[in-house]
Amino acid sequence: MFVSGVFDKDEVRYADNVPASRIMGAGFLRDCPARERSTNRVATLFKIKICGICSVKDAQLTMLAGADAVGLNFYKESARFIDPEAAQKIVGVLRPTVKRVGLFVNAAAEEINRVAEQLALDYIQLHGDEPPELLAALSERPIIRAFRFGENGAADIAEFLRGCGSGRRPDAILVDAAKPGEYGGTGEVADWDAVAAAKPALDGIPLVLAGGLTPFNVAAAIAKVRPEGVDTASGVESRPGNKDPMLVRAFVNTAKKAFQQLDGAAT
């Protein structure tokens, strides 16, 4: 049974006034031959990200569906792992307006910086057990720090931010569902009520909500949690690493409508 409005054929457009909560500080990025970049950038956090892109076909599908960002998974144990050489072909077909997010799990700073430079990534996403000290060793790109939201609730986030002290902090925090032994992409749904209640612990850092989001629940998730962005991988797949065109388009359209309603209610 389809949810009314989820599978609309027309692309949904919305005005983005870029509230202060979605502005991410960025440092100096080198020019990339594939597209122009300015130094001392201030990056705007994406609203809709499709993660685990493994092919040029899925990258084009995601871009044409209207997603703001694509996620490239460089964690070798993941079913959605992609090596930098294959990722180079993927980013080569993306419009400059589609943000490139590189996902890393417990990788060394040297490896992260090398891949980020090679692919001209817009964001670095840390999805493992990385310590606060690692952030200072990373290139001056916005950093998204992911947390698996389980029994500890926001305690892990608060502890991490305390560990950052007066040094570098994440530019955004991604909250995923917790599953023992897994680093995300499980399809498990996060506890939205608990995440919403924990937002003060983020200390004003923008929130990206992940964890089991699909075209059928993303609108409710946005209304409940009121995140700055949403992220999905398994929720729009026919099988791990392969995106379903109808689900991708439905997810993007539904999320855009939900954000439009959220933005309208805030004005």
**Average pLDDT, 10 consecutive residues per value, the chain (267 residues):** 45 44 42 35 79 97 97 95 96 95 97 97 96 94 92 87 94 83 64 92 94 96 96 94 97 97 80
Looking up tokens 């209640």 gives 197
Per-residue pLDDT, 154: 87
Per-residue pLDDT, 115: 97
Catalytic residue among 58, 122, 171, 176: 176
For the 46-266 domain, the top CATH level (class) is alpha beta
Tell me which H or E stretch contains 95. none
16 assigned to active site: no
Tell me which H or E stretch contains 210. none
SS3 97: coil
Residue 81 identity = F
| Contact in structure between 53 and 67 (CB atoms under 8 Å) | no
Per-residue pLDDT, 34: 36
Q: What is the pTM of this model?
A: 0.84
Distance of CA 58 to the CA centre of its chain: 16
- Long-range (24+ apart) CB contacts under 8 A made by 76-79 are 77/105, 77/183, 78/52, 78/105, 78/183, 78/185, 79/185, 79/240, 79/241
51 assigned to active site: yes
Encoded tokens for 247: 């689900």
Per-residue pLDDT, 4: 43
Catalytic residue among 10, 51, 54, 83: 51
Per-residue pLDDT, 36: 39
Give 267's contacts (C-beta < 8 A, 6+ positions apart).
none
Per-residue pLDDT, 182: 53
Among candidates 234, 265, 208, 174, which has minimal Cα distance to 53?
A: 234
